[in-house]
């Protein structure tokens, strides 16, 4: 399992793929990763994810497989399940979803029939593609209705309006969670609305799973939520996978929805890597890390606010923020993303609430602090990063000055190695 030895073997046998991987290693080391859904995993996770467990088919669940030879795969999956339950204070855990999309699909298909209504956050206000975007299959199968945030009130959700919508539309599921919403959520208020209309409560915590695990942000399950879905590769620093946590009374229908309803054989190498990440998240130092992510986000947001940069929701409660680049720099989000690439700062273009511009050329960018925090960067580095971003987007047409900023960024990055590289 010597990673360096295995990479050498790849270099000798497939130079094209080796070169691409090597190029990505250099890109990650030399630049600052600020896409809030990306992170650097532990070297031990990489080892487990690249292990011989990838050879094994394990359709079914521990103790109830369709193929033989499951002694060690049963052990791996059982460990992952128990760690997930303990870490998130859950009654049941399904660790088999291959990623975020199928984990959410499995929940929808477990509780809803085609045409049933699901109430979730408006996509331009922070909701996710898997929350019923019209271009998604789920958006075509189910009737997704939306609630919005109030941009004039720091992005708060109007629960009186949400209750009104729930009573009118009678959703089977009330879904909270986000991909670009910089505020915390009032889970008790969501639960109250759901109870009043008889809906299942579902929280998609893909982004902040690590912050919940590290006790830096609230856990929806502590507020009586029925379902919580998470991806393990974002703030949790695990492999690219999904995980469903639920009340015990829903365990059988969730498990049946994942397999055989939606998937075949689970990816046992990924489940092993997930178990490793869950074990890491149980350590005391992970709590320190999770809280530092929030401190760094506050520090970075303050740099922007101090320089009259328009932040959607006027600040952040979590690990991310969204900049209105039209109001702040008079450039669209695509141009901003491409400009920051030139100075080795990676962000993603992002729609803003009720964005008049198209998704591929929106009015904002989204950025967050988990990956930079993983490398050991703290508040003082966030101040430098914020200044580089403002400077770069202000002089975005001056290629010479952008090259100068790029040198400064890459010089700082050399002081903070990427784990596993």
Residue 354 falls in the annotated catalytic set: no
Q: Annotated binding residue at 123?
A: yes
How far apart (Å, rounded) are the C-alpha atoms in residues 104 and 234?
16
**Which residues on adjacent β-strands are paired with residue 228?**
203, 245
Q: Is 224 annotated as a binding residue?
A: no
Out of 59, 116, 122, 408, the active site residue is 59
Q: Does residue 187 carry a catalytic annotation?
A: no
User: Is there a binding annotation on residue 129?
Assistant: yes
**Helix (H) / strand (E) containing 171:** none
Q: Are 89 and 123 in contact (CB under 8 A)?
A: no
61 is catalytic: no
Catalytic-labelled residue, pool 11, 57, 379, 394: 57
What is the maximum alpha-carbon separation in the chain? 64
Taking CA atoms, 356 is separated from 339, 344, 359, 364, in Å, by 22, 29, 9, 11
Q: In the annotation, is 40 catalytic?
A: no
| CB neighbour class for 342 (10 Å; exposed up to 12, middle 13-18, buried from 19) | middle
Among the listed residues 234, 247, 334, 375, the single catalytic one is: 234
Q: Which of 41, 231, 313, 373 is catalytic?
A: 231
The two structure tokens encoding residue 334: 């695509």
Residue 155 annotated as lining a ligand binding site: no
CA angle 32–34–36, rounded 5-degree value: 150
For 260-360, list the strands marked E by DSSP: 320-324, 345-346, 348-350
Catalytic: 404?
no
| Helix, strand, coil abundance in the chain, percent, nearest 5 | 50, 15, 35
Q: Please name the residue that has the structure tokens 């008790």.
A: 188
Residue 116 annotated to the active site: no
Of 240, 295, 342, 401, catalytic: 240
- Which one, of 54, 13, 14, lies nearest residue 266 by Cα? 54
Spatial distance between the Cα atoms of 41 and 16, rounded to a whole number of angstroms: 24
Q: Give the residue numbers annotated as catalytic, written as ranges.
A: 57, 59, 204, 231, 234, 240
Residue numbers in the known binding site for (6S)-5,6,7,8-tetrahydrofolate are: 123, 127-129
Residue numbers in the known binding site are: 123, 127-129
């Amino acid at each position: 399992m010597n990673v360096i030895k295995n990479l050498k073997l790849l270099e000798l046998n497939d130079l094209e793929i080796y070169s691409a991987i090597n190029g990505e290693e250099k890109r990650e080391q030399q630049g600052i990763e600020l896409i809030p859904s990306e992170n650097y995993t532990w070297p031990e996770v990489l080892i487990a994810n690249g292990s011989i467990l990838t050879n094994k088919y394990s359709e079914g669940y521990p103790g109830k497989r369709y193929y033989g030879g499951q002694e060690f795969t049963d052990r791996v999956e059982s460990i992952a399940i128990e760690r997930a339950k303990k870490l998130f204070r859950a009654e049941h855990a399904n660790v088999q979803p291959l990623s975020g999309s199928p984990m959410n699909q499995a929940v929808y298909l477990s509780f809803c029939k085609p045409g049933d209504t699901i109430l979730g956050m408006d996509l331009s206000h922070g909701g996710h593609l898997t929350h019923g975007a019209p271009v998604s299959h789920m958006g075509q199968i189910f009737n997704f209705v939306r609630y919005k945030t109030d941009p004039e009130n720091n992005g708060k959700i109007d629960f009186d309006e949400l209750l009104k919508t729930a009573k009118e539309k009678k959703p089977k599921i009330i879904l909270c969670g986000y991909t670009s919403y910089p505020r915390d959520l009032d889970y008790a208020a969501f639960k109250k609305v759901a109870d009043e209309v008889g809906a299942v409560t579902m929280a998609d915590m893909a982004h902040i799973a690590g912050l919940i695990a590290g006790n830096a942000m609230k856990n929806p399950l502590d507020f009586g939520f029925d379902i919580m879905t998470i991806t393990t590769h974002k703030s949790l620093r695990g492999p690219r996978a999904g995980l469903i946590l639920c009340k015990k009374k829903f365990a059988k229908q969730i498990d049946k929805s994942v397999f055989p309803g939606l998937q075949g054989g689970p990816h046992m190498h990924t489940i092993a890597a997930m178990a490793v990440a869950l074990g890491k998240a149980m350590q005391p130092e992970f709590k320190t890390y999770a809280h530092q992510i929030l401190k760094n986000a506050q520090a970075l947001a303050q740099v922007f606010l101090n320089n009259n940069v328009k932040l959607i929701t006027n600040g952040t409660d979590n690990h991310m923020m969204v900049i209105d680049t039209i109001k702040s720099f008079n450039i669209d989000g695509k141009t901003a993303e491409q400009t920051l690439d030139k100075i080795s700062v990676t962000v993603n273009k992002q729609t803003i609430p009720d964005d008049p511009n198209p998704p591929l050329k929106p009015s904002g960018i989204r950025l967050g602090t988990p990956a930079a925090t993983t490398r050991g960067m703290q508040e003082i580095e966030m101040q430098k990063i914020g200044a580089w971003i403002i400077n770069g987007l202000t002089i975005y047409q001056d290629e010479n000055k952008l090259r100068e900023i790029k040198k400064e960024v890459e010089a700082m990055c050399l002081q903070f190695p990427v784990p596993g590289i």
